[in-house]
Amino acid sequence: MKKTFAKDTSARKVTWRMLLALGGMAALAVPGAGPAEAAPRTVADGGRAGRCVVVYFDLGETLVHTAEDKSVRYSPGAAAYLRALRARHIPVGLITNVPPSWGSTDAERAAELKKVIDQDWVGSRPFAWSDFGDRIFTPRTEAERKPAPALWKRAKKAAGSCRVVYQAETPDEVQVGRSLGYFSYQVARPGWPAYLPVRLIAALSHLPYGKAGANTASSKGR
């Protein structure tokens, strides 16, 4: 028992250091096993209020990169990162601008987005569209285009009681997400992890909703 407690305590200290280094949720404790152990609850499995997390991304230059020749491929590290989230059973989604004329519903616009990306895709592995399911949020009107808050609000509502994370390469978008209660992270910054560490996301999912910083904390995007 003493050995197990020591292991859990060590894991929590690591999580504390990560939280503080990323700009900080104060006074948080991760109950039960260390964050590297056990998959977090998800939207699909109906975890207790707040004990789940959904990770949303921007698409262009966050998960995919468009080269000068117009070819499209994964951004560095993106494929492996999505695999790591998948292994943890952490749901992912997209909050991305596309022309509203691409369809009358998110599903129709997402289908057109897939065609546009896939037709110029290069690489041995196709983009992991199946990971995102119906969690692809696109503007219904020009007024909803980011950085307007509409897409973030719709995505957060769809996540229910789960904590929400947003990752993008644009500081302005990171700030909007943060202002709406997302744990926001700016990707691909020199000297920082390319993406928010999966271990930290898993730790967030174990925190009961309503504790200090729940859906209001953020990593500093500057």
Say how far apart CA 3 and CA 176 lie, in whole Å.
44
How many C-beta atoms lie closer than 10 Å to residue 64's C-beta?
19
The pair of structure tokens assigned to 55 is 């990770």
One pLDDT digit (tens) per residue for the chain, 222 residues:
434 334 344 444 444 454 444 444 322 323 333 333 344 555 544 444 457 999 999 999 999 999 999 999 999 999 999 999 999 999 999 999 999 999 999 999 999 999 999 999 998 899 999 999 999 999 999 999 999 999 999 999 999 999 999 999 999 999 999 999 999 999 999 999 999 999 999 998 877 654 434 343 344 443
Tokens for 63?
């998960």
Q: Which residues pair with 186 in a beta bridge?
A: 168
User: Could you tell me what percentage of the chain is helix, strand and coil, using 3-state DSSP and rounding each to the nearest 5?
Assistant: 35, 15, 50
pTM to 2 decimal places? 0.77
Cβ–Cβ < 8 Å for 39, 196 = no
Token couple for 106: 């998110």
pLDDT on residue 110: 98
Residue 204: CA count within 13 A, CB half-sphere = 30
Answer for the pair 165, 217: CB distance below 8 angstroms, yes or no.
no
At residue 113's C-alpha, the angle toward residues 46 and 103, to 5°, is 85
The pLDDT assigned to 209 comes to 56
Q: Is 119 left (phi over 0), alpha (psi -120 to 50) or beta?
A: alpha
CB atoms within 10 A of CB 172: 11
